[in-house]
Structure 1
Amino acid sequence: MSFTTARSRWSDVWLVTMARGVSSCGDFLAASALTLALQSAGAGGLAVSGLLMAATLPLVVLVPLTGRLADRVDSRTLLVVVGLAQAGICLALAHTGQPALVIVLVGLLATGLAVTQPVLAALVPAMVRPEDLPRASALQQSAGTLGALAGPALAGVLVGGFGVRLPLLIDAASYLALVGAGLLIRTRRGGGRRVAASPSGGGPASTGWRLRRDPLLLATVVGVAGVVGAVGAINVVEVFFIRETLHSTTTMYGLVTGAWTLGVLAGAWLFARLAGRLRRDGAMAGASLALLGGCCVAVLASAAVPSAALVVPIWLAGGICNGGENVFGNVLMARRVPEASRGRAFAVFVGAVQGASMVGYLAGGFLLELFAPRPLVAAAGIAGVVAVAVLAVPVARAARAERGGLTAAGSGAEPPDPEERAGAARTPGAGLATPAPGR
Structure 2
Amino acid sequence: MNQTQQRDIRLIVLFRSLSFVGDEIALFALMVHFAHSNQHWMIGALAFANAAPPVLLTPIAGLVVDRVPTRRLLGYLGIFQAVIVLGLVFVHNSYGILALIVLLGCGVAFTQPGYGALVAHITPEEEMAKTQASLQSVGAVAGMAGPAIAGLIYGQFGLSFAFVCDGISFFLVGVATFFLHHDRRPAPISSAEKQRGQVMAGMRWLFGDPLLRPVVLETMIFVFAIDLITVSEVVLITRTMHASSTVYGLVGAAYGIGIVLGSVLAGKLRQGDMNIVRSLMMGTVLIGGAFTIVGWLPSVGWVFPFMVVGGIGNGIANVSAQTLFALRMPEAIRGRGYAAIGAVFTGMSLCSMAFGGVLISVLPARTIFKIAGLASLGAVLFFGPLALRQAKRATQGA
Query: Could you tell me the TM-score, scaled by structure 1's length?
Result: 0.78
Q: Distance in 2 between matches of 1:239 and 1:371?
A: 16
Cα gap change, 1:189 to 1:231, in 2 (>3 Å):
same
Q: Which of residues 341, 366, 388 in structure 2 aligns to 1:399?
A: 388
**Matching residue of 1:424:** none
Secondary structure of the corresponding residue to residue 92 of structure 2: coil
Secondary structure of the corresponding residue to residue 175 of structure 2: helix
State the number of aligned residues. Answer: 384
Q: Which of residues 212, 224, 227 in structure 2 aligns to 1:229?
A: 224
Cα gap change, 1:297 to 1:336, in 2 (>3 Å):
same
Q: Which of residues 32, 37, 42 in structure 2 aligns to 1:36?
A: 32
Check the 8 A contact 2:79/2:175 in 1, yes or no: no
- Residue by residue over 1:222-276, the C-alpha shift from the partner in whole angstroms, topping out at 9 and shown as x without a partner, is 2111221233133334455556664534x65544433322222221111211x2x
**Matching residue of 1:53:** 48
Q: Displacement, 1:42?
A: 4.3
Q: Which of residues 100, 103, 117 in structure 2 aligns to 1:105?
A: 100
**Matching residue of 1:416:** none
Q: Displacement, 1:95?
A: 3.8
For 1:38-437, list aligned pairs within 5 A. Answer: 38-42=34-38, 47-192=42-187, 210-239=205-234, 246=242, 248-249=244-245, 253-273=248-268, 275=269, 277-279=270-272, 281-303=273-295, 311-368=303-360, 370-371=361-362, 375-376=364-365, 378-390=367-379, 392-404=381-393, 407=396, 409=397, 421=398
**Matching residue of 2:18:** 22
Check the 8 A contact 2:5/2:123 in 1, yes or no: yes
Q: Displacement, 1:10?
A: 0.2
Q: Distance in 2 between matches of 1:190 and 1:32?
A: 36
Secondary structure of the corresponding residue to residue 184 of structure 1: coil
- Residue by residue over 1:346-392, the C-alpha shift from the partner in whole angstroms, topping out at 9 and shown as x without a partner, is 22112111000011111233345x358xx236404522432441354
* Higher helix content, 1 or 2: 2
Q: Distance in 1 between matches of 2:294 and 2:159?
A: 29
Q: Which of residues 8, 12, 23 in structure 1 aligns to 2:8?
A: 12
Secondary structure of the corresponding residue to residue 210 of structure 1: helix
Cα gap change, 1:77 to 1:230, in 2 (>3 Å):
same
- Residue by residue over 1:58-91, the C-alpha shift from the partner in whole angstroms, topping out at 9 and shown as x without a partner, is 1212111111222221112211221111112212
What amino acid does structure 2 have at the position aligned with 1:339?
Answer: E
What amino acid does structure 2 have at the position aligned with 1:101?
Answer: G
Cα gap change, 1:148 to 1:165, in 2 (>3 Å):
same
Cα gap change, 1:31 to 1:333, in 2 (>3 Å):
same
Query: Could you tell me the TM-score, scaled by structure 2's length?
Result: 0.85
What amino acid does structure 2 have at the position aligned with 1:323?
Answer: G
Q: Distance in 2 between matches of 1:248 and 1:7?
A: 49
What amino acid does structure 2 have at the position aligned with 1:349?
Answer: I
What amino acid does structure 2 have at the position aligned with 1:89?
Answer: I
Q: Distance in 2 between matches of 1:187 and 1:81?
A: 16
Q: Distance in 2 between matches of 1:303 and 1:33?
A: 31
Secondary structure of the corresponding residue to residue 66 of structure 2: helix
Q: Displacement, 1:326?
A: 1.8
Q: Displacement, 1:104?
A: 2.5
- Residue by residue over 1:171-199, the C-alpha shift from the partner in whole angstroms, topping out at 9 and shown as x without a partner, is 12111232133111111113539xxxxxx
Q: Distance in 2 between matches of 1:319 and 1:98?
A: 38
Q: Displacement, 1:115?
A: 0.9
What amino acid does structure 2 have at the position aligned with 1:219?
Answer: P
Cα gap change, 1:364 to 1:393, in 2 (>3 Å):
closer
Q: Distance in 2 between matches of 1:145 and 1:155?
A: 16
What amino acid does structure 1 have at the position aligned with 2:385?
Answer: A
- Residue by residue over 1:111-159, the C-alpha shift from the partner in whole angstroms, topping out at 9 and shown as x without a partner, is 2112111111111222232222222222222222222221022223334
Secondary structure of the corresponding residue to residue 153 of structure 1: helix
Q: Displacement, 1:96?
A: 3.3
Check the 8 A contact 1:297/1:381 in 2, yes or no: no
What amino acid does structure 2 have at the position aligned with 1:354?
Answer: T
Check the 8 A contact 1:300/1:378 in 2, yes or no: no
Aligned residues with identical type, % of pairs: 30
- Residue by residue over 1:403-437, the C-alpha shift from the partner in whole angstroms, topping out at 9 and shown as x without a partner, is 24754x5xxxxxxxxxxx3xxxxxxxxxxxxxxxx
Structure 1 unaligned regions, length at least 5 = 194-206, 410-420, 422-439
Check the 8 A contact 2:214/2:386 in 1, yes or no: no
What amino acid does structure 1 have at the position aligned with 2:26?
Answer: A
Q: Give the RMSD, CA atoms, in angstroms.
A: 2.9
